[in-house]
Amino acid sequence: MSANERMTELGLAGATRNTTFFARLNVRFADLWHGLKNRIALNPLLDMEEHQLADLGLTRGDVEQALNRSGVLEDPYSKLNAARQRGRRAYFLSLER
């Protein structure tokens, strides 16, 4: 969600210029905090064994890529979920054969 969409959602779209600046700054800080918090939460997945990750539909490479390819303001869970969905599709395609 963009800063403008969040500001509209919060009713700040027609606010003064100074209020708009601080609202955008607040949204950026919230994005940064959310991304860092989720990045920290993903680190224990790297300590799991391969069969435990497989139970989640993931590989160690999926977790490493999610952490390495997401920026500071980007939520690594979105990349991890995309990898999980790719793995799930490949699994079900293998069952159809």
DSSP characters over 11-31: T-TT--HHHHHHHHHHHHHHH
Supply the angle between the helices 60-69 and 76-96 in degrees, to the nearest 10.
150
SS (H, E, C) 49-82: CHHHHHHCCCCHHHHHHHHHHCCCCCCHHHHHHH
pLDDT value of position 49: 93
CA dist 7 and 27 (Å) reads 8
The DSSP output letter for 48 is S
- pLDDT mean for each 10 residues of the chain (97 residues): 62 61 81 83 89 85 84 77 73 61
pTM for the model: 0.56
Number of domains comprising the chain: 1
Residue 40: give the domain boundaries: 3-96
pLDDT value of position 18: 63
